[in-house]
């Protein structure tokens, strides 16, 4: 039995748009199946820069391309609008897509401001369309295995969690566009960028966050872009965040763009009553029982910190592909999808609470929606 094609329109030609288009290309070559039949994917791309648009369309063998934003969203054959535009440009095209009855998928943040995010989520819910947001860390093998272990209950009550993650972005910026460091265009710095991932991930693994004391540091204010010359960064580039979860657990997250110890992926530690977890993107270790007893011996060599820990099997896959596959299944079958735009609003509220704490110097509480 033939299955109706699903037409994606990717908005943008930047770094994240390439990530999404590459994932969709993999799905096209190995399609999802509905009722025994493969689901064909038709790919369209929108971009303002014609040269970049043509190059990207050729790279991913797009079926159509357009440099007209409103017209491409309004095409009758577009089923899913996949937004990868810069942060400040999210609201208008996403509102049009919802009004036109399209299913919508977007890079984070949902809106440049919390009111924009709330308006978008309310409109999507009212329209009855499928709506999703990129939170790729949820879909990596390590967190997926950790989620199963925590939900099984075998580790008992969760006590606390910790994430330390960062890398150095030198004053000469070659791997980020200048808008990334301008509050008026990005909406914020490392809290808006990285903490949005960590709030979502820890909220998914552990439960809702009730308060979030936060400290921030500016970092490098005078930066230089090879193409556009010198510019001023007016966003925070480091943050130290404490977390209190609604279930009583506590947490800590440190994230930075000016950290000298480079890490490609974050490491998550979760301590529980009956054991613990150590989680990276595609690996997960579990400890059961009490673990080794602490003995202070300053003359002894450091032992293996993973002695007594067992590695859990994980599935390694591109999290963007995994997440987009799940969204396609949701659109075709009509099933629920998470993380959706209501989840995105919750995460945005946690981000805004962190900023409020940093401004006031006090702990910021978060009311449940």
Do the domain assignments include residue 1?
no
58 and 186 together in one domain: no
Pairing of strands 310-312, 238-245: unpaired
pLDDT in tens, the chain (369 residues): 346 899 999 999 999 999 999 999 999 998 887 766 788 999 999 999 999 999 999 999 999 999 999 999 999 999 999 999 999 999 999 999 999 999 999 999 999 999 999 999 999 999 999 999 999 999 999 999 999 999 999 999 999 999 999 989 999 998 888 998 999 988 899 999 999 999 999 999 999 999 989 999 998 999 999 988 999 999 999 999 999 999 999 999 999 999 988 777 889 999 999 999 999 999 999 999 887 776 677 777 777 778 889 999 999 899 999 999 999 999 999 999 999 999 999 999 999 999 999 999 988 887 765
Do the domain assignments include residue 190?
yes
Q: Which domain holds residue 126?
A: 6-136+321-340
CB-based contact 191:109 (threshold 8 Å) = no
80 and 55 together in one domain: yes
Concatenated DSSP letters of 19-39 = HHHHHHHHHHHS--EETTEE-
Residue 254 sits in a domain of what CATH number? 3.30.360.10
132 and 255 together in one domain: no
Rounded Cα distance, 336 and 325, in Å: 13
Report the predicted TM-score, pTM, of the whole model to 2 decimal places: 0.91
Confidence at residue 299, expressed as pLDDT on a 0 to 100 scale: 76
Confidence at residue 369, expressed as pLDDT on a 0 to 100 scale: 57
Confidence at residue 1, expressed as pLDDT on a 0 to 100 scale: 39
Token representation of residue 124: 């999507």
Residue 71 sits in a domain of what CATH number? 3.40.50.720
Cβ atoms < 10 Å from Cβ of 54: 16
123 and 168 together in one domain: no
Token representation of residue 133: 């947001």
197 and 230 together in one domain: yes
Nearest-Å Rg of the Cα atoms of the chain is 22
Do the domain assignments include residue 368?
no
Number of domains in the chain: 2
Alpha-helix runs per DSSP H in 161-314: 183-186, 190, 196-205
């Amino acid at each position: 039995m033939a299955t109706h094609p699903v037409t994606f329109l990717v908005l943008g030609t930047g770094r994240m748009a390439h990530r999404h288009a590459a994932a969709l290309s993999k799905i096209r070559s190995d399609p999802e199946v509905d009722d025994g039949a493969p689901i064909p994917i038709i790919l369209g791309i929108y971009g303002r820069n014609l040269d970049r648009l043509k190059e990207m369309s050729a790279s991913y063998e797009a079926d159509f391309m357009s440099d007209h934003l409103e017209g491409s969203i309004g095409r009758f054959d577009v089923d899913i609008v996949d937004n990868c535009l810069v942060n400040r440009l999210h609201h208008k095209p996403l509102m049009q897509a919802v009004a036109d009855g399209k299913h919508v998928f977007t890079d984070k943040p949902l809106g440049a401001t919390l009111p924009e995010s709330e308006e978008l989520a309310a409109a999507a819910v009212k329209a009855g369309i499928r709506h999703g947001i990129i939170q790729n860390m949820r879909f990596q093998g390590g967190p997926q295995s950790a989620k199963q272990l925590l939900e099984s209950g075998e580790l008992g009550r969760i006590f606390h969690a910790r994430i330390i993650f960062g890398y150095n972005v030198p004053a000469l910026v070659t791997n980020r566009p200048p808008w990334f460091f301008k509050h008026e265009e990005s909406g914020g710095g490392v809290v808006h960028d990285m903490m949005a991932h960590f709030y979502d991930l820890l909220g998914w693994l552990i439960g809702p966050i009730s308060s979030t004391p936060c400290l921030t540091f500016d970092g490098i204010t005078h930066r230089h872009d090879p193409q556009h010359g010198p510019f001023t960064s007016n966003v925070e580039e480091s943050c130290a965040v404490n977390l209190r979860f609604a279930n009583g657990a506590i947490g800590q997250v440190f994230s930075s763009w000016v950290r000298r110890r480079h890490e490609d992926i974050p490491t998550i530690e979760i301590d529980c009553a009956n054991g613990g977890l150590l989680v990276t993107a595609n690996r997960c270790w579990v400890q059961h029982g009490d673990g080794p007893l602490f003995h202070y011996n300053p003359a002894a060599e450091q032992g293996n910190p993973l002695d007594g820990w067992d590695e859990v099997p994980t599935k390694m896959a591109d999290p963007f592909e995994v997440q987009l596959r799940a969204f396609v299944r949701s659109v075709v079958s009509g099933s629920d999808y998470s993380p959706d735009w209501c989840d995105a609003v919750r995460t945005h509220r946690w981000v805004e609470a962190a900023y409020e704490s940093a401004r006031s110097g006090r702990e910021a509480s978060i009311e449940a929606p």
